[in-house]
Each structure stands twice: as C-alpha cells, then as structure tokens.
Chains A and B, each alone.
Chain A
Amino acid sequence: MKKSMVFLTALLLFVAVPAAASDAIRVGEIATVTGDFAAYGVAEVESVKIAVEEINAAGGVLGRKLEVVMYDCRTRQEDMVNAARRLVEQDKVVAVIGPSGSGLCIAAAPIFNRGRVAHLGTLPTNPLVTVDEAGKVRPYNFRICFLDPYQGRMMAYFAAKDLNASKAAVLYDVSSDYSQGQREFFVKGFEEFGGRIVADEGFRGDDVDFRSQLTNIKEKKPDVLIFPFMGKALPLAVKQARELGIKTVIVGGDGYGDFMWEVAGDALGDTYWVSHVDRYDPTLKDFFDKYKERTGTECQEFMNAVMAYDCVYWLKDAIERAGSDDPVKVRDALEATASLELLHCVLTMDEFHNPKDKDGVMLKCDPKQKKALFFKKVRPE
C-alpha cells in the first residue's frame, strides 16, 4: 500500500512539474480527429499548429508562447463534453478552438459557460451554437463562420434565381443539427422565392446507402437537388444519384471538400457548393503552401483549415487587447472584436457572437480540373 502511494506521488510530481514550470498560455483545441468527420478535424489540427508555430516564432503573445492542448472528440457528443470539461476544469486553458460540428458545439456549450472559458467554433453553422433555445446569447460561445439561416437562404436564392428552379428535392441527415438547420432554412427560403418542395427525404448520419431515397426523389423529377449535409455521405450521395440516372443539378452546403473527387469523381459535374472561402483565392496561397510543406498533402478540407487558422489569430488578438490570459477578460475582448483583418475576412462580431456581413461564395465543380472553382458571390435578398 505504502509503496503504491509513493509511486503515485512520484508520478504526480513527474506529471505536474513540467506543467508548473511552463509559462506558456494554454489554448484548448477540440477536433474530430477520428470518426466520420476525421478528415475535417485533421485539417483543423494541422492549421492550428501552423498558426501557433508562426505566432511563437514571432515572439508569442504578451511575451509568452502559446501552447495547444488538443483532444479528439471522435465526432461524438459525449466525447466532446468530456474534452470540454477537461480543458476547462483541469487544463485551465484561456479559450477553446473547434470543432466544426454544430451538434458537438451545442452539446458542450453549457460546460464553457459554467466554466467561464470562451469557445470559438470553426465551422458550426447552426444558430443554437451561440444562442440558447430562447434566443438569448450564450456569453462564452463564438463562431467565425456564417450561419445556416444564411447559407440555407443562400442555396434557396441561388436555386430559384440563378438556376431558375421551381421544383426542389431535399435529402438531409435527420441526426444532424447542421443538416436539419440548413434544410429548414432552405425550404423556407425556396418557398418564399416561389419554389415548391417535391421531395423531402431523410437519412441517418452513419448511413452509406441512399439509393432508396434517391429513387423516390428521381420519381418526382425535381429541377434541383439539395444536399445540406457533410462528410462521406456527400460524395456517396452524389455518386449514387448519378448511378441512378439522376442528372439534375445538385446544390449543397459548406460540407464540400476536395476529398470528394476521390469518391465521386466525374459525378461531381453540375454540382454547386456554398463556401466560406475560395480555395484558389491568391491571398490564401501562402497558407496552403505551408500546409502542404508541413503535412506532405494538399489541404483538401480547406474551409476547416482556414477557419481554424484564423481562429488562432483571432484569439491572439483578443489576448493582446485584453492584456491578460484571464479567460473572462479574453472573452470580453473576443466579444468586442471589430475590423480585425484575418486571412479570409475582416472580422467584426455582432451582438449574437456571429461575424457581421460575411459574403458567401458559390463554388462550381469542374470535372476536367477536378476542382471546385469560384462561381459567384451570393448575398440573398
């Protein structure tokens, strides 16, 4: 018994000493490094590392280095809650960045608010990430991306006005807050613009076969097919739709990634995707070059990567303006963010902790180049 106590004490000292000796400012990061959305999470982790290394090489923040404490939430809400709890209660981080999933961020929101540590979502587009069910802002939750009401309406506007579609079919993930939100706002917007929903089919998050729903959709002969979901389901649904002989134009939300070409290939022709950034914008080239140099691969989940990179610089700016690594003061500074120049946008927070006036970009897939190229900027009425 005594021996084990001595061993345990020695172990605790061994673990505790390096942490106590470190003067670094700890930044938490939660990513979906495994699970269905692993590819998105890996891009976020690498981008955060790039940003932190750049900042540390340039002298750090307030004369101190940044140190990242990272946890994998496996695309599961219970793991997300556990990771958030550890970062807030044990690791004592200044703020937490990521992940991109709305459902994950909503699940952990109470932990961040109880622990008074700010959370910066990379790509969680559901409104409930920063406000509660009653519409009251969650003080410690922020995001850097635009919202589902915006992108759902953007898809509706694009389908009705640019594609002149009058009949739309929707396939969506019933188990995802992200997908449910986009679907809801697309349907509302499309009907407002004079369109009609002829098919509304759902699937469950881990499904890989959508031919049954697509067969029903095909029967209804829609003018446009709406795919408001993400992950492996996206390229699989596109591929299966084309295999069933559905040639209809497909419009999707911001789940697009270059990884989709590997699975769906030429089937991605005649598909359009909402995006937060244009992958081939010259101002992003340096970042993507660094990413490739670091990882040895092209950055295929480019939206997540850019958002995570910008979140680190947003947090750096907030810590500097707060003049302290006190999480509450940093939260106040995050809330007061205005005209901050980041890699992909000039960031100003609105009263609900969302970025103000961000343009949406519509990308169009080009099967010849196997790329989604800039098609147009869309800001719905």
Chain B
Amino acid sequence: MPLNFALSTLFQQIINGLSLGSVYALIAVGYSLVYSILLFSNFAHGGFLVVGGYACYYLLTQSGYGIVLASAGAVLASGVVAVLTERLAYKPIRERTSTTLYLLIASMGVSIVIENIFVIVVGGRFRALPQDTFPSGVFSLGSGVTVNASDILSLAVAVIFLGALQLFLSRTRWGLAIRAAACDLRTAGLMGVNVSLLIGIVFFVAGLLAAVGGIFLSAKYSIYPQLGNITIKAFIAAVIGGLGSLPGAVLGSLLLGLAEMLTAGFISSQMRDIVVFSMLVAMLLVRPAGFFGKRVGDKI
C-alpha cells in the first residue's frame, strides 16, 4: 500500500538523517577515543580527516590506484599525520604539564596549520573524487522515497569499522591496555604499559577513522581545506553521546543527524544549528556526561 505523501517525506528525512549521522559517527568515535585517554578534545581531528580526503583524491587521480589501495594509502597517511601531531605538538606539552587545556589550545593551532598547509600546497578549490569511485545508483523505496547506494555503503563501512574497533578494544592486549589507560593513564604506566606507544596507537586509530570519514565526506560533499570544520558537529555528537564512550558517540551522531534533517525539513533550515546547539546545552544541563556518560574509571 503506498504511503501517504507526508509520511513518505518523513521517511525520506529519516534516511537523510541516518546517512548524515553515520558519517558523523566515524568522526565522533575518533574524538571520543582520544578524549578517553588524554582527557582533551582534539580539535585537530578535522585536519586528519582532510589529510585522508586529499590523500585518497590524489592517489585515485594522480597515481591511478583503485579505491581500495587509495583508501589504504589515505588511512595510512592520516594515521601517520595523527601520530606525528601527537609526537610533535602534544607530547612536549604533556611532558611539561598535566593541564589538558594547553593540549586543547594546541589542537586548535594544529587544525589551523593543517588547513593552511593545504590551502598553500593544493589551493582552495574544492575537488571531487572521480565520479565512478563509489556506486552512484539511487534505489527507490516506493512512494518517492529514495536512498543512495553510496549512503548505504557509508553506513555499512561505518558499522564494519566501529565493530572492528570494538573487537580491537575488547579482544586484544593493546585494547586491554587502552581500556586500562582510560581508567588511569599513570597507573597503567606503572603497571608496565608503554604509555608513549599506547598513545601513539590511539592517535593512529583515531587518524585512521578520521580518514575513513574524510573519504566518504569527500565523495559526498567534495574535498576542500575547510572540510574539517564539519567535525564540530561530530564533536557535539560525541558530547551528547558521552565523551569517552564509543557507543555513545555512535548514538549521539545518529541522533544529531536525525535532529538536523528533521528540523530543516519540518521546522526551518535556519533553525538547524540552533536546535543542534540547544541539544548540546540541554544535555550539558540535564546530563553533563552525555547519554552513555560513565564514571571515568568505566570509560570505553
């Protein structure tokens, strides 16, 4: 039986929201991961996303690699940049002070540096991944409701990567070490965990996830030096879900994607950001730790 018209619009807006939320989720998880270990929000995360997007673009267009190899290269590039950022910008600060505010400020600086390096080196023009990189088909779900093949792919990839991350954290020795460090970094170090290597691994994984998000965002919205700005929404999603909680980051992202699309669709697009930031303020007032906010000792 065909849906009535308003209901089909609602379904379309929900699909739009889930598609947007799935990309936010990949980015938000990276935020959460770093926060859980070092207790600061790494605003350079958007920069890692841009590195991944550009690396994928150039590997596809200049080196002639297929999407699998180009994505692998992009993920590696982003992971390495994330580790280098930690080593060059954050580690010296960590060694001098335990005040995480300085790390937060440094991350804002790194974000601007990465953006401007791209502006200088590759220019400000927006570029798109080649048209045939991802499936471009549009599936009709009836009553005028459509869903993109690339959106289904991005949702599937997000689920795979987040599942793999959960397995890594729960089933491996390094995963155990990361969870221990999330409880107490100093004690984990005293218990024999190589803290420096552990932080490097966390940043590599966060960079890797940012690159995956960057690749999908580049395919969806094109790549340009300021693309990382979109991570501010992912950060809000991570806060709403509960900073430091991976399931929270995913839930927060999907909720935020839905809230944005439903607000724009049924209230007004001008209200979109007002609703998003109101959600953030409301969450901070009612439940400051977010939906999945736990005691510091139970993080991740």
Interface residues of A (CB under 8 A from B): 32-36, 38-39, 41-42, 174, 201-204, 206-209, 211-213, 215-216, 218-219, 232, 235-236, 243-245, 259, 262-263, 265-266, 300
Contacts and interface: CB of A to CB of B under 8 A. Distances in A.
B146 A244 contact: yes
A212 B13 contact: yes
Closest 7 CB pairs of A and B: A38-B124, A212-B264, A208-B221, A39-B125, A263-B128, A212-B265, A211-B16
Interface stretch (B160-168, B235-243, B269-277, B281-289): B269-277
A41 B124 contact: yes
A13 B138 CA distance: 65
A106 to B, nearest CB: 21
Nearest to A201: B269
B225 interface: yes
Q: At the interface, is chain B mostly helix, strand, loop or mixed?
A: helix
Interface string B107-144: 00000000010010001111110010000001010001
A34 B119 contact: yes
B222 interface: yes
A263 B222 contact: yes
A33 B128 contact: no
B261 A202 contact: no
A243 B260 CA distance: 19
Contact of A245 (B20, B131, B144, B229): B144
Given A42-B124, A203-B264, 19 more contacts: A33-B119, A34-B116, A38-B125, A39-B125, A202-B269, A208-B220, A208-B230, A209-B16, A211-B261, A212-B16, A212-B262, A212-B272, A215-B9, A232-B221, A235-B128, A236-B221, A243-B146, A245-B144, A262-B128
A349 B220 CA distance: 44
Given A174-B270, A212-B269, A216-B9, A33 B124 contact: yes
Nearest to A203: B269
Contacts of B148: 243
B146 A204 contact: no
A376 B224 CA distance: 34
Contact of A215 (B16, B221, B272): B16
A259 B221 contact: no
Contacts of B230: 208
A245 B12 CA distance: 12
A204 B272 contact: yes
B144 A218 contact: yes
A202 B270 contact: yes
9 contacts: A38-B124, A202-B268, A206-B229, A209-B20, A212-B16, A212-B261, A232-B126, A232-B224, A263-B128
Central interface residue in B138, B264, B273, by most chain A CB within 10 Å:
B264
Interface of B: 5, 9, 12-13, 16, 20, 116, 119, 123-128, 131, 138, 140, 144, 146, 148, 220-222, 224-226, 229-230, 260-262, 264-265, 268-270, 272-273
Given A202-B269, A204-B272, A215-B12, A259 B146 contact: no
Contacts of A244: 12, 146
A204 B140 contact: no
Contact of A232 (B12, B222, B260): B222
Contacts of A34: 116, 119, 124, 225
Contacts of A265: 131
A197 B269 CA distance: 18
Nearest to A262: B128
Central interface residue in A38, A203, A265, by most chain B CB within 10 Å:
A38
Contact of A209 (B12, B221, B229): B221
Contacts of A259: 125-126
Nearest to A242: B138
B222 A236 contact: yes
A218 B12 CA distance: 11
B138 A245 contact: yes
A262 B123 contact: no
Contact of B126 (A32, A201, A263): A263
A244 B265 CA distance: 14
Given A209-B221, A219-B5, A39 B265 contact: no
Central interface residue in A34, A174, A204, A213, by most chain B CB within 10 Å:
A34
Nearest to B10: A215
B114 to A, nearest CB: 13
A299 to B, nearest CB: 12
B152 to A, nearest CB: 13
Contacts of A174: 269-270
B145 to A, nearest CB: 9
A286 to B, nearest CB: 24
B218 to A, nearest CB: 10
Contacts of A41: 124
Given A204-B273, A209-B221, A262-B128, A38 B146 contact: no
Given A35-B226, A174-B270, A245 B124 contact: no
